A and B are shown apart, each in its own frame.
Chain A
Amino acid sequence: VITKDQQAFMNVILDAYNRHQIPPDVAKKLLQEQYSAEENFLLLTEMATSQVQVLVEFTKHIPGFLSLDHEDQIALLKGSAVEASFLRSAQVFSSKMPNGHTEVLEERIRKSGISEEFMTPMFNFYKTIGELHMVEEEQALLTAITIMTPDRPYVKDQQAVERLQEPMLDVLRKLCALHHPHEPQYFARLLGRLTELRTLNHYHAEMLTSWRMNDHKFTPLLCEIWDVQ
């Protein structure tokens, strides 16, 4: 049974998750006509930048985050930005979009200079997220849990992060039992996605190196969060 405190705790995270989304006028550009690889790459870079801004605003509302050491806050954001962004875009990608939009988006991503060896695991991840049919609370909590992962590089006080992540895992476990009573493994399946995200994170780092080789330009915020000079 979810206690009243846990319900309130979850509502804070869910409310922040819903309030901080990529602005519609930015997201709308994904459906614009131009299709050249350069335009697609620029568009995806703009989306990624907006996604990072949204992520930071969401993270600031995760209970306890702003009480952490400042450097650890930066380390958590840098360490989780790629994974949390993929988790959010997977949720957007698999959500009910007007017909045809998913195909347009997929086509745009396929034609933006991203290597095939990266796109396959990325679209597989989008598919597995879609198949899970997570409810909104589960999506919000899983995103917060991804960000509040103690063993990110340069995090000094891992116990403090763990103490903040624990209650989120407890509530998520109860939610899974509540919303998926016939699937006792559902909670484990959600956590399995976090492992898949780490693999995506690894691919992304490799892709970044290849992009830097042929001199792709990123926005200052992306350079900072991806540690690209």
Chain B
Amino acid sequence: EEPSLLKKLLLAPANS
């Protein structure tokens, strides 16, 4: 299943 772009954005560390 194509990896979700949204999931990737959400999992990327929130740049402080």
Q: Do A74 and B14 touch across chains, with their CB atoms under 8 A apart?
A: no
A224–B14 Cα distance when bound, in Å, is 21
User: Which A residues have a C-beta under 8 Å from some C-beta of B?
Assistant: 53, 56-57, 60-61, 66, 70, 73-74, 77-78, 220-221, 224-225
Interface string of B1-16 (1 = CB under 8 A from A): 0001111011000110
Main secondary structure of the interface of A (DSSP, over half): helix
Distance of B10 from chain A, by nearest CB (Å): 6
A70–B7 Cα distance when bound, in Å, is 8
Q: A60-B14, A224-B6 are in contact. List 7 more A-B contacts (CB 8 A).
A: A53-B9, A66-B10, A66-B14, A70-B7, A74-B6, A221-B6, A224-B4
Q: Do B14 and A61 touch across chains, with their CB atoms under 8 A apart?
A: yes
Q: Do B10 and A56 touch across chains, with their CB atoms under 8 A apart?
A: yes
Distance of A185 from chain B, by nearest CB (Å): 36
Q: Do B6 and A77 touch across chains, with their CB atoms under 8 A apart?
A: yes
5 smallest CB-CB distances across A and B, nearest first, come from A60-B14, A56-B9, A221-B5, A224-B5, A74-B6
A56–B7 Cα distance when bound, in Å, is 10
Contacts of B15 in A (CB 8 A): 57
